[in-house]
Amino acid sequence: MKKDFLWWRDGIIYQIYPRSYADTQNDGIGDLQGIINKLGYIQDLGVDAIWLSPIYPSPDVDFGYDVAEYTDIDPKFGTMKDFDQLVKEAKKRGIRIILDLVLNHTSDQHSWFIESKRSKDNPYHDWYLWRDPKPNGDPPNNWQSVFGGSAWEFVPELGQYYYHMFYKEQPDVNWRHPKVRAAMLDVFRFWLKKGVAGFRLDVFNAYFKDSAFRDNPTKIGLRAFDRQEHIYDVSQPEMIPLLNEIREICDQFKETYVVGETFLADAAQSAAYCGDDKLHAAFNIGFAHNRWHPKRFLTASLKWYEALGEKAWPNNHLSNHDVQRTATRYCFGEDDRRAKVAAAMLLTLKGTPFVYYGEEIGLRDIPIRKKEDIKDPVGITFWPFYKGRDGCRSPMQWNSELNAGFSQAKPWLPVHENFPDRNVIRQASYPDSLLNFFKSIIEIRKKEPALQRGDFYPLVENPRHILAYLRRQEEDQVAVILNFSSRNLEFDLPDGKWISLLDQDKQISDSIKMNPYGVALLKLQT
């Protein structure tokens, strides 16, 4: 590893959805001790940091994304002592912890909201967004909740509505209130002092809404939320100075990293929030929605790099806790060949790769067959058109024993029925498994600075079957060739002698034969 290794630029970030990783309390829900037990596995994978989805006390209307206390641990996950142990044990293994901060809204069970709702003259009342009804009793404006229905909830005792962009149990806070701002900034300080290396900011660009609460203009769309131009409920200019302040706080600690979930934003809008005095990075949300076509991924990547320019280092993800898993989207049945192509792409494109737990063994979404089985409320609301996000949140598959080794108790979501074959132990046991493929690409990536921080040059401008690009860092050059098709193809290499990093340093020049869904990583011999 080079001396100037910078973990968030050159390394890999592994997202864990703690409810579903490993359960030691035997209540069917994963916990912090479970993650601690698996640190050896995580280190062995070769990742540099873990992003933990929320672990704070929560009534779980939105499974942790409704926070009832920002500076504590939910007992279902363990204690603050467990958290400190996790940070310490992870550090020993060179793994950093990134926390998910959900600061756009709280749970309606947060003490701030309970106070806020007591009366109009309660000191906490203005910590949330309360408005009087229109003269006819209607909500104050036309804003809609992402999760269905009006974004305004009426509280008869107060004769007022409060605003919630997500569920009504997730009231949005009033970021314009100086005390709210101060309290939230203290949340950053609290966790930084505990030794976390950074944060993922949940829907940060929704913190501020139009101060005059103007109606959004309408447009054509499927759901009520999509039938509006969201110009007044997200992306207000006040966010930039706030990001400056957040960055200043984080920069007081060594090598921190803040990545934002930009809501309803394209690559250019997301990039506008990044820079030396703003976020280190934002997610390119659309990337995971590309169809299986090399051109799609190439175009999306180039757009992303162009939008970011020199301002910020890119990052890439294909899966997370909100979208169908990579393997579910792209693979046929249990065939992992496309998952390998996707993994190789994710780990070698320019940008920090984010790997979602289980992606390394090709977890598939669990099927959602009945409305009664759904846990994610958004799936209940929109059934049968949209079945929610349970599919991509099922328990990690460790072995072929009871509940895939996730828990001795009935898991909160079913384990995928493919677990006897698809699990960590099984995949570790044969050389060409997806897990071993992931590990070998990560190992190569670690040895090749070009694959970490190198520049990116497409080798085919208008790809139909093969996505091919060069990563170049000073004199080091690595060519990545990915056959997206089920055909045997031949690919003409750029001039020079190349050695195959995946194929025992075999020497190749002129052209390379690509198997169906084949992957080649070639280093230029100097």
Chain contacts with ligand NOJ (rule: CB under 6 A): 62, 65, 102, 166, 202-203, 261, 321-322
For ligand NOJ, the closer of residues 202 and 390 by Cβ is: 202
Residue 268 sits at φ, ψ, to 5 deg, of -65, -40
- Minimum distance, C-beta of residue 240 to ligand NOJ, in the bound complex (Å): 21
Only one residue has tokens 């949340």, namely 187
Instruction: Give the HSE-up count for residue 52: Cα atoms under 13 Å, Cβ half-sphere.
Output: 28
- Minimum distance, C-beta of residue 325 to ligand NOJ, in the bound complex (Å): 15
Tokens at residue 5, please? Answer: 């290794």
For ligand NOJ, the closer of residues 65 and 152 by Cβ is: 65
For ligand NOJ, the closer of residues 76 and 321 by Cβ is: 321
- Minimum distance, C-beta of residue 21 to ligand NOJ, in the bound complex (Å): 16
Long-range contacts of 379-382 (CB under 8 A, 24+ apart): 381/147, 381/148, 382/148, 382/223
> Looking at the chain, how many residues does it have?
526
Contact 498, 479 (CB under 8 A): yes
Beta strands in 196-318 (DSSP E): 198-201, 257-260, 281-282, 315-317
Residue 352 pairs with which residues in a beta bridge?
A: 315
- Minimum distance, C-beta of residue 365 to ligand NOJ, in the bound complex (Å): 15
Tell me, rounded to whole angstroms, the distance of Cα 168 from its chain centroid.
Answer: 24
For ligand NOJ, the closer of residues 207 and 437 by Cβ is: 207
User: In the chain, count of helices (H) and strands (E)?
Assistant: 15, 19
Question: What residues have CB less than 8 Å from 117, skipping those under 6 apart?
Answer: 108, 155, 158, 162
For ligand NOJ, the closer of residues 126 and 322 by Cβ is: 322
The C-alpha angle 432, 447, 250, rounded to 5 degrees, equals 110
- Minimum distance, C-beta of residue 480 to ligand NOJ, in the bound complex (Å): 29
Tokens at residue 75, please? Answer: 């007992």
- Residue 458's identity, in one-letter code, is P
Encode 135-192 in three state secondary structure.
Answer: CCCCCCCCCECCCCCECEEEECCCCEEEECCCCCCCCEECCCCHHHHHHHHHHHHHHH
- Minimum distance, C-beta of residue 326 to ligand NOJ, in the bound complex (Å): 17
For ligand NOJ, the closer of residues 51 and 517 by Cβ is: 51
For ligand NOJ, the closer of residues 273 and 419 by Cβ is: 273
Annotated catalytic residue within 74, 261, 359, 448: 261
For ligand NOJ, the closer of residues 321 and 523 by Cβ is: 321
**Residue 261 annotated among the catalytic residues of the structure:** yes
- Minimum distance, C-beta of residue 259 to ligand NOJ, in the bound complex (Å): 12
Question: What residues have CB less than 8 Å from 205, skipping those under 6 apart?
Answer: 234, 235, 239, 260, 262, 263, 264, 265, 273
Annotated catalytic residue within 48, 202, 360, 390: 202
For 270, 302, 454, the CA distances from 275, given in Å and listed in that order, are 11, 18, 19
| Calpha distance 255→245 (Å, rounded) | 17
Tokens at residue 245, please? Answer: 């302040």
The CB-nearest residue to ligand NOJ is 65
- Minimum distance, C-beta of residue 479 to ligand NOJ, in the bound complex (Å): 35
Alpha helices in 205-310 (DSSP H): 239-251, 267-271, 294-308
Question: Which residues are catalytic, by number?
Answer: 202, 261
